[in-house]
């Protein structure tokens, strides 16, 4: 060991671990972990989904009456009693070794014994503590973990995919499709992309007001006006984009997250669009989605079929035009084995990753690495339940993802991450930008 490495090790030696319960953007409990390493401290707060997939790492909730069963005291105890003793005295920079020990301690694979919220809480705080102790920005530290070289430097900022209209489990009672999003494909820089998306969102708000509705927002800050068809949602977005002075398909692309598993009725084997008084079988969904791709400039379609309908996904991947990515979220659940199956069968053409589906920082890095090795564009994504934690902004830059999906340009838990990317942009004069049309440049 060189003297330099020895110093680095000592600089990042973990001396204390603490965890406690805080509330997230929906007011639900979640786990916050703080780790001291050397003279530094790293804090990470775990996010939580509403439209969670069956194949995600399993978060632990207390059940019972407190917080309607959603308390996380058990997960907090797991951190304090079982995980803290494992990481104390280790070098926080040894993320992979630490994560392996955390996963082994849990012993279940899906992290259900201690809770993925306990395990990811520690894993994330370790990364923050190491970056702080080594006096590096988090994205630089994550880049070096992913590149396995201490001086692997980030290269570019991601293209934001911005939620404008919300439905599904995030807006209860609206249209079943969870997100209608805009992608500022014509923007030349991250700040310009943000401004473009802001203008479209603002014009959407004006349209909603002009139609006599209140501009109320859903869990991720997207608007949830009454909509009587899917076409009405696309046409609202298109009108707003034109109103803001943009050309649809040139300056602005669209994206949707169907989150189809949540209105798929497994017994009847059909998709129930209650709000539209309509049901569709798999073929009907494939036709519907293919029709959208031919009518609208769709950059990506996420989860248009149920999370275990591998055959349907394979068929849809073939049916969609090259310009429209078939993006796997619940299908893949940031799980390396499911991603491998999807790569082998061609079931997706782009990969969405959420660190709390994976359960550790190392598994998150592995999933990105596997997707990138297969030449599939990647999206790092927030959850619908978030806090001011900004880690995914650093992940996007550090792991060189093409896209980032955070929610809308509203609510401070969303803006914390958008603003972190502005901060990273400000601090560097050498970072590029993943847009426009990132996948064409690959
Ligand atoms: P969730 O939604 O966090 O509620 O799962 C986000 C998504 O489906 O992409
Ligand atoms: Zn999704």
Per-residue pLDDT 10s for the chain (442 aa) are 444 444 556 899 999 999 999 999 999 999 999 999 999 999 999 999 999 999 999 999 999 999 999 999 999 999 999 999 999 999 999 999 999 999 999 999 999 999 999 999 999 999 999 999 999 999 999 999 999 777 778 889 999 999 999 999 999 888 999 999 999 999 999 999 999 999 999 999 999 999 999 999 999 999 999 998 999 999 999 999 999 999 999 999 999 999 999 999 999 999 999 988 899 999 999 999 999 999 999 999 999 999 999 999 999 999 999 999 999 999 999 999 999 999 999 999 999 999 999 999 999 999 999 999 999 999 999 999 999 999 999 999 999 999 999 999 999 999 999 999 999 999 998 899 997 654 443 3
400 lines ligand 1 (CB under 6 A): no
Of all helices (H) and strands (E), which one includes residue 20?
strand 14-23
Both tokens assigned to 372:
């990138």
Over the stretch 395-426, which tens digit does the pLDDT of each residue have? 999 999 999 999 999 999 999 999 999 999 99
Among residues 333, 341, 280, 337, which one has the least CA distance to residue 307?
Answer: 333
Ligand closest to 357 (CA) is: 1
Catalytic site includes residue 220: yes
259 lines ligand 1 (CB under 6 A): yes
- State the chain's maximal CA–CA distance in angstroms: 70
CATH 3.30.390.10 residue window(s) in the chain: 12-135
Both tokens assigned to 422:
């502005």
In this prediction, residue 9 carries a pLDDT of 62
93 lines ligand 1 (CB under 6 A): no
Q: How far apart are CA 18 and CA 129, in angstroms?
A: 12
- pTM of the entire predicted model: 0.96
Ligand closest to 384 (CA) is: 1
Give the number of the atom of ligand 1 that is nearest the alpha carbon of residue 47: 3
- Centre of ligand 1 to C-alpha 50, Å, is 6
Q: How far apart are CA 193 and CA 396, in angstroms?
A: 16
CATH 3.30.1360.120 fits 12-135, yes or no: no
In this prediction, residue 345 carries a pLDDT of 98
By most ligand atoms within 8 Å of CB, the mutation choice from 24, 28, 49, 181 for ligand 1 is 49
**What's the topology of domain 156-439?**
TIM Barrel (3.20.20)
Active-site residue (options: 207, 354, 413, 417)? 354
329 lines ligand 1 (CB under 6 A): yes
Q: How far apart are CA 182 and CA 197, in angstroms?
A: 7
- Centre of ligand 2 to C-alpha 79, Å, is 28
Over the stretch 77-134, which tens digit does the pLDDT of each residue have? 999 999 999 999 999 999 999 999 999 999 999 999 999 999 999 999 999 999 999 9
- Centre of ligand 2 to C-alpha 145, Å, is 26
Q: How far apart are CA 361 and CA 4, in angstroms?
A: 25
By most ligand atoms within 8 Å of CB, the mutation choice from 219, 255, 259, 355 for ligand 1 is 259
Q: How far is CA 122 from CA 46, 60, 93, 310, in A?
A: 9, 14, 13, 33
Mean pLDDT of the chain: 95
Which residues on adjacent β-strands are paired with residue 255?
A: 181, 300
Active-site residue (options: 220, 302, 307, 386)? 220
CATH 3.20.20.120 residue window(s) in the chain: 156-439
List, as ranges, residues with CB under 5 A of the ion ligand 2.
257, 329
356 lines ligand 1 (CB under 6 A): no
Give the number of the atom of ligand 1 that is nearest the alpha carbon of residue 385: 3
DSSP state of 439: G
392 lines ligand 1 (CB under 6 A): no
Cβ pair 375, 342 in contact under 8 A: no
Among residues 47, 122, 70, 19, which one has the least CA distance to residue 388?
Answer: 47
By most ligand atoms within 8 Å of CB, the mutation choice from 167, 383, 407 for ligand 1 is 383
């Amino acid at each position: 060991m060189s003297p330099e490495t020895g110093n680095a090790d000592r600089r990042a030696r973990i001396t204390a671990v603490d965890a406690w319960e805080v509330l997230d953007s929906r007011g639900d409990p979640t786990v916050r972990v703080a780790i001291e390493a050397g003279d530094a401290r790293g804090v990470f707060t775990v996010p939580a989904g509403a439209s969670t997939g069956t194949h995600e790492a399993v978060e632990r909730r207390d059940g019972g009456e407190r917080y309607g069963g959603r308390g996380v005291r058990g997960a907090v105890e797991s951190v304090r009693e079982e995980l803290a003793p494992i990481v104390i005295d280790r070098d926080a920079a040894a993320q992979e070794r630490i994560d392996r020990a955390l996963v082994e301690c849990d012993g279940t694979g899906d992290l259900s014994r201690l809770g993925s919220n306990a395990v990811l809480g520690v894993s994330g705080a370790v990364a923050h503590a190491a970056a702080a102790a080594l006096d590096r920005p988090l994205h630089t530290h994550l880049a070096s973990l992913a590149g396995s070289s201490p001086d692997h430097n980030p290269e570019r900022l991601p293209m934001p995919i911005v939620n404008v209209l919300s439905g599904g489990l995030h807006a209860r009672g609206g249209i079943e499709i969870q997100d209608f999003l805009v992608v500022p494909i014509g923007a030349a820089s991250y700040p310009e992309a943000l401004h473009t998306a802001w203008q479209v969102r603002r014009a959407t708000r004006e349209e909603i007001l002009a139609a006599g509705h209140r501009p109320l927002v859903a869990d991720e800050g997207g608007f949830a006006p009454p909509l009587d068809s899917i076409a009405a949602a696309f046409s609202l977005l298109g009108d707003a984009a034109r109103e803001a002075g943009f050309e649809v398909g040139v300056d602005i692309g669209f994206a949707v997250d169907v989150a189809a598993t949540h209105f798929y009725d497994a017994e009847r084997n059909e998709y129930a669009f209650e709000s539209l008084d309509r049901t569709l079988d798999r073929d009907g969904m494939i036709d519907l989605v293919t029709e959208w791709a031919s009518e609208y400039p769709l950059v990506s379609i996420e989860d248009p079929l149920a999370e275990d309908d591998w055959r349907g996904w394979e068929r849809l991947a073939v049916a969609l035009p090259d310009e429209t990515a078939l993006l796997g979220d619940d299908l893949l659940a940031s799980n390396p084995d499911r991603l491998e199956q999807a790569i082998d069968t061609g079931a997706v053409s782009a990969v969405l990753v959420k660190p709390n589906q994976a359960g550790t920082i190392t598994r998150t890095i592995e999933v990105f690495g596997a997707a990138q090795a297969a030449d599939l564009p990647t999206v790092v994504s927030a959850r619908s339940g978030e806090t001011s934690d900004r880690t995914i902004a650093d992940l996007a830059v550090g792991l060189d993802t093409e896209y980032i999906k955070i929610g809308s340009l509203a609510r401070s838990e969303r803006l914390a991450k958008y603003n972190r990317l502005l901060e990273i942009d400000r601090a560097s004069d050498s970072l590029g930008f993943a847009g426009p049309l990132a996948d064409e440049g690959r």
